[in-house]
Structure 1
Amino acid sequence: MNAPQSPNHAVASSRFEAPGATACPACGSDRTRSFYRCADVPVHSCLLVDDQQTALDFPRGELDLAFCTGCGFVYNQLFDPSHNAYSSDYEETQGFSPLFREFIKDLAERWVQRYDLAGKKVVEIGCGKGEFLAEMVRAGVASGIGVDPGVHPERIDDDVANRLTWVKGFFPEDFPLIDADAVICRHTLEHIAPVADWMRTVRESIGERTDTVVLFELPDVSRVLEEGAFWDVYYEHCTYFTAGSLARLFRRTGFEIVDQWTAYDDQYLIIEARPATPGAEDAAEGDDENAATGSAADRFAAAHAEMIGRWRTRLQTVAAQGGSSVIWGSGSKGVAFLAALGDDAALVTAAVDINPFKHGKYMAGSGHRIIAPKELTEFQPDLVIAMNSAYLEEIGSDLDALGLRPSLEAV
């Protein structure tokens, strides 16, 4: 069994230690308040665990989510970066989904066209398995550099491999200077505890260039808080952003915003920026969105408990009728879902995943076996719970192809 590995696309390093619990990591304010606590949470979600007992004994941590009334930022005050150990054994990719592949293809084409990146050079911090950088090359960029301790160059298709360079390590230690026409960072910032320090380092690494476009993508916490989406709160995500708190962080750390929007069924925030020129205005503190986020944070614990109760009842009902249930998706959402169910997680028979590298492995914390979709013909489940509503149509098609007609529901 390997040691716990890096979170999804995370490339923070020991240089950036977690800040004190009383100070907001985004703005430094002491105007923070705790609104949700939870203990006994698996510290990683996508690690390939080889046996069930190791999965059951997986290291745990604590959540203490805090809200900054000054800038609207949400973060885990008890996040401990010493739990992180980075290597290529983390299996976080969504790249086996046709829907996801189409999404990143469209996003890459949009960015190449909008920012005139054809024939130019891009750098991706936290490139994961490299799928998105490969799509940027297909969309027209001349070359790309991917930085991530978990990259697998052997998985990159031959049509783009000779135009890509990989740094199997950390930003900034292993890649301190960014000389590129675009800096991309997707689903990494939410894993960084000292976000302001890290973003200032990104700005410093770009140097005097002000024409470099900076393109980030990360989850939107507004939906999580409003819906009580407990499956989207887990240990690796130590920081949580709204559109407003993200924009303020960028302005505060030396960037000017070009555009912001949401994508992927409004689950993701996308921010497009450039290095700010000297004398640019700092971020304004506080707005109506802050008040709305604070109110949602205050309601989150109750909404969270209600949502967990709803799914416990659903699973108990299926079991009482002699049926069986599985979840579809063994990544972070699945780990969080099963952890929150407590003893009722035993009512879930298995976790389904289309990623072949996960098949036969076990989920951290709950110990559920990860199976290929084709194995469902043996289980004949009565209920399939999709861990992401965006994949409902795709999952439905896969079930139809297997000749299965269970109830398919999304968290």
Structure 2
Amino acid sequence: MNTLELSIPQNIPLENSITPSECTCPNCGHQGLSIFYDVRQVPVHSCLMLPTQEDALNFPQGDVILGVCAECGFITNVAFDPQWSAYAPNYEDQQSFSPTFNQFALDLANRLIDKYDLRNQDIIEIGCSKGDFLLLLCELGGNRGVGIDPSVLPGRVQNEAASRVTFIQDYYSEKHAQYVGEFICCRHTLEHIQPTAEFLKTVRTSIGDRQDTVIFFEVPDTIRVLQDLAFEDIYYEHCSYFTPGSLARLFRSCGFEVIDLYRAYGDQYLLIEAKPTATRAEQVHPLEETPAQLVQTVQAFITRIQQKLAHWKQTLEQFQASGKRVVVWGSGSKCVSFLTTLDTVDLIQYVVDINPHRQGKFIPGVGKEIMAPEFLTDYQPDHVIVMNPIYLSEIQHSLDSLGVITQVMSV
């Protein structure tokens, strides 16, 4: 059994008399996780759009207490309560209003279609959100699709392939095995699920004896989060945090052979391609880190994170003291985590977002109304804080076209 020793500045108490030794890893079942990071009283959802400021400020809260498993390197929020995993049509995480993101999705779809000859095939997407990527796969490859997601809104995305795609407003389970075809896609969903091994085994069971079904999953890369001290990417909905090693080990333990493992989108995303196998696969991919290497990365995060938190809090306090107009660009989970982790909700004035389905709504736990970018033409902020650096060029172009002269900063 591996052991893990972390130099943690202070003992982090767990709620409900839970101790780290009682925490079980959802990936491998190892008993005993090491706690290394906590943020208390944060919104349990970041992307549920609320109609009033009062609803937003009174939104339920929970704790983020991250523990790392020495056996497999998996990281999870040990304080996560699954009762809050309630996704609905007002969960607004659609990213396809960004040209930058759309180009990434287009390139990815073409790559997968060409690599696996996804033409005139049956495709299922687990956690399809509003259906953008599934419709793209079906449009470009002439495929048929089934998208399963409790927050899906059939008809939201207009596409010529819509007649070949069925959307099911539900959580994925074995009852959906009838839809399994040549390709199973699951993007940015697994990090929202705490019983990770149980979920992946459900997918494997649904496939049955088929050996030709390709599995494609995409999740945030936690190595980048730890190395870049990206605290804005740690929030309640994300109860599961994957690295290349922990993700590949999970897939192998659940009856899959890893075909490929790689990073994309400015190394923010971790992508895995796999196939079912009757015998346990053993081959390790070159991108995988060992649990011991992950421990070193976690330790470096522990020693440096407080300095970054202090820097940003100090920066926002100085802006307020000098009367600067400060706006956050991007109203999603990064924004919620950025402001609530720093406890600086009142230090920014406005939040803007290009997604029209967010505009006019209020952010959970933050209480700020989401404004359209055009609002900035009259407001003329002194500083715009961008939540994701990959959009810097796109945002600067928008500001220029609006005639907004401001200092653009990235988290």
**Which TM-score applies when normalising by structure 2?**
0.91
Matches of 1:84 and 1:175, distance apart in 2: 20
The aligned counterpart of 2:310 is: 309
1:206-256 deviation per Cα after TM superposition (whole angstroms, max 9, x unaligned): 111011000000000011112221100000000001001100000000000
**Contact 1:167-1:174 within 8 A present in 2 as well:** no
1:26-84 deviation per Cα after TM superposition (whole angstroms, max 9, x unaligned): 00112421111221011000011111121111100011101111101000111100112
Matches of 1:183 and 1:267, distance apart in 2: 22
Question: Residue 306 of structure 1: CA displacement?
Answer: 1.6
Matches of 1:389 and 1:319, distance apart in 2: 23
Q: Which amino acid aligns with 1:297?
A: V
Aligned length in residues: 389
Matches of 2:142 and 2:249, distance apart in 1: 30
**Which TM-score applies when normalising by structure 1?**
0.91
Question: Residue 345 of structure 1: CA displacement?
Answer: 2.4
The aligned counterpart of 2:348 is: 348
The aligned counterpart of 2:361 is: 361
**Contact 1:183-1:214 within 8 A present in 2 as well:** yes
Secondary structure of 1:155's match?
A: coil
Q: Does 1:402 align with 2:396?
A: no
The aligned counterpart of 2:105 is: 104
Question: Residue 380 of structure 1: CA displacement?
Answer: 1.1
| Structure 1: gaps spanning 5 or more residues | 1-19
The aligned counterpart of 1:61 is: 62
Q: Which amino acid aligns with 1:389?
A: P
Matches of 2:169 and 2:382, distance apart in 1: 43
Matches of 1:172 and 1:382, distance apart in 2: 49
Residues 258 and 288 (structure 1 numbering): CA distance in 2 closer, same or farther, change over 3 Å?
A: closer
The aligned counterpart of 2:206 is: 205
| Structure 2: gaps spanning 5 or more residues | 1-20
**Contact 2:174-2:205 within 8 A present in 1 as well:** no
Matches of 2:232 and 2:146, distance apart in 1: 33
**Contact 1:229-1:307 within 8 A present in 2 as well:** no
Matches of 1:301 and 1:243, distance apart in 2: 20
The aligned counterpart of 2:132 is: 131
The aligned counterpart of 2:321 is: 320
Question: Residue 178 of structure 1: CA displacement?
Answer: 4.1
**Contact 2:256-2:280 within 8 A present in 1 as well:** no
355-364 or 152-161: bigger deviation: 152-161
Q: Does 1:72 align with 2:77?
A: no
Q: Does 1:388 align with 2:373?
A: no
Matches of 2:280 and 2:374, distance apart in 1: 59
TM alignment of 1:6-405, pairs within 5 A: 22-172=23-173, 175-278=176-279, 280-281=281-282, 289-342=290-343, 344-405=344-405
1:258-297 deviation per Cα after TM superposition (whole angstroms, max 9, x unaligned): 001100000000000000133544989xx85322321222
RMSD: 1.7
Question: Residue 92 of structure 1: CA displacement?
Answer: 0.8
Matches of 1:280 and 1:151, distance apart in 2: 35
**Contact 2:39-2:341 within 8 A present in 1 as well:** no
Question: Residue 170 of structure 1: CA displacement?
Answer: 1.5
**Contact 1:112-1:141 within 8 A present in 2 as well:** no
Residues 381 and 298 (structure 1 numbering): CA distance in 2 closer, same or farther, change over 3 Å?
A: same
**Contact 1:36-1:300 within 8 A present in 2 as well:** no
35-44 or 152-161: bigger deviation: 152-161
Matches of 1:196 and 1:161, distance apart in 2: 33
Residues 206 and 141 (structure 1 numbering): CA distance in 2 closer, same or farther, change over 3 Å?
A: farther
Question: Residue 176 of structure 1: CA displacement?
Answer: 3.7
The aligned counterpart of 1:7 is: none
Identity over aligned residues, as a percent? 45
Residues 272 and 141 (structure 1 numbering): CA distance in 2 closer, same or farther, change over 3 Å?
A: farther
Matches of 1:143 and 1:250, distance apart in 2: 26
Q: Which amino acid aligns with 2:98?
A: S
1:157-197 deviation per Cα after TM superposition (whole angstroms, max 9, x unaligned): 24111111111112116524443000000000000101001
Matches of 2:293 and 2:233, distance apart in 1: 19
